Amino acid sequence: MDHLGYRMKFGVLGPSTNTIVQPDFDDMRPVGVTNHYSRIVIPDMAVDDNEGFMRMVDAISSNTMDAADVLKTCEMQYLVMGMSAVTFWNGKQGAQAYLERIRQRVGVGVTCGSFALEAALNAYGVRRIAFLSPYFPVANAEVRRFFEDCGFTVVRDVCLRRPSPVQIAHTTDRMCRDAIRELDGDDVEAIVQVGTNLSMVRLAAAAELYLDKPVVAINAATYWHALRQVGIHDKIQGLGRLLSHH
């Protein structure tokens, strides 16, 4: 039994440019659970259109398995995927096939952002959603397709078109607040944020209070899902109703 991770030893995958997932997941970590991070090496490339975004996605996809192999050496008990775009690709069926390839490679259970968000929205019992991302339209179309395949109605979406992978983490609260205002309406039951390098866990928790509806940040949903999948039901305060009530 691991001295510090005596309840669970999580492996975490994230792009090397991602500076948000690691501290977010550590903030949500219960006592007796440890997070062990492996970086998917990608360059901080310029992203200024759909084609540039696809080049970034390809770079992440091509190096994911190598980073996962590194985590196997610490004998992780469960894998948490700290990247999101590739986990939505090709609809629910394509996302499921991708998840299964990762499971077969690592030999343990896996949580990824797309299916974690599906589970979170089902826990809230909502069907009509809107979402924001740091992506470009080509990726928002894939996210929309995934959610619609899962039976949700996507009323609206916003893509922030951030200019590089590192710049996603430089997105301001004001940008995210403006996006939330643009998305909200009486026709929307929940607002979702995707893009794991976009820091929105605390802002989403605050927005739930004044909008009186679920505002689900992908990092909170992903870590919540991983904890519940391994039988850990600790309630964590201050980071949204998903972690504190479900």
Show Cβ contacts of residue 209 under 8 Å, excluding neighbours closer than 6 positions: none
pLDDT for residue 55: 82
Residues 109 and 224 in one domain: yes
Is residue 1, in this structure, part of any structural domain at all? Answer: no
**What is the tens place of the pLDDT at every residue in 54-71?**
787 787 777 899 999 999
Same domain, 197 and 174: yes
Please give the model's pTM, rounded to 2 decimal places: 0.96
CATH code of 67's domain? 3.40.50.12500
Quick one: what percent of the chain has pLDDT higher than 90?
88
Domain that holds residue 194: 124-216
Whether residues 27 and 101 fall in one domain: yes
Q: Is residue 3 part of a domain?
A: no
41 and 82 belong to one structural domain: yes
> Residue 21: what pLDDT?
97
Q: Could you tell me if 132 and 175 lie in one domain? A: yes
**Each residue's pLDDT tens digit, 176-218:** 999 999 999 999 999 999 999 999 999 999 999 999 999 999 9
| Residues 186 and 165 occupy one common structural domain | yes
Q: 87 and 141 share a domain? A: no
Do 45 and 136 reside in the same domain of the chain? no
Sequence-distant (6+) residues with CB within 8 A of 153 are 127, 128, 129
Residue 29 forms part of a structural domain: yes
Average pLDDT, the chain: 95
Lowest mean pLDDT among 54-63, 168-177, 218-227, 228-237: 54-63
**Pick from 124, 123, 95, 120: which is nearest to 110 by CA?**
95
d(CA 207, CA 177) in angstroms, rounded, equals 8
Helix axes 137-149, 113-124, angle to 10 degrees: 50
Per-residue pLDDT reduced to its tens digit, 71-90:
999 999 999 999 989 999 99
Are 133 and 191 part of one and the same domain? Answer: yes
Q: 16 with 110, same domain?
A: yes
The tens digit of pLDDT for each residue in 97-125 reads 999 999 999 999 999 999 999 999 999 99
Please state the domain count of the chain: 2
Alpha-carbon span 164 to 161, nearest angstrom: 9
Q: What percent of the chain has pLDDT over 70?
A: 100
- Specify whether 189 is located in the same domain as 239: no
60 HSE (CA, 13 A, CB side): 23
